[in-house]
Amino acid sequence: MTDINQNAFDFEDEDFEVIRQAVLETERGRWFLAEYAVRNRKSETTSLLAAIAKLEKAIGSELQHETNSTIGNQISQKIVRRVKYFDQSNTFFGRK
């Protein structure tokens, strides 16, 4: 039996683009890709927010002992900028 994950590595970017274009030719295909992008983005966002929460928890206890929270604010601002960039970046499907 063939490992499905191994076969996925055999495709080139051009192969995926050809398949994507074929799926986009139908209304149902366009709906599917849009729905897939939404679900995938939700999953990625959930994972990213969980990772951010872990970071906040890890650095939060250290920052409580600091008298100057400037470093914490800078880190928080960088995290917020990264999340905004991630959210605004185009996905493979070009949908938001």
Q: What is the pLDDT of residues 10-65, one digit of tens each?
A: 778 888 899 999 999 999 999 999 999 888 888 888 888 888 888 888 777 665 55
Residue 1 pLDDT > 90, yes or no?
A: no
pTM (whole model) above 0.85:
no
Pick the range with the lowest mean pLDDT from 32-36, 60-64, 68-72, 88-92: 88-92
Q: Which residue has the higher pLDDT, 96 or 45?
A: 45
Domain ranges of the chain: 10-88
> How far, in Å, are 59, 63, 70, 71 from residue 66 at the CA level?
11, 5, 9, 9
What DSSP state is assigned to residue 26? S
Confidence of residue 92 (pLDDT cuts 50, 70, 90): very low
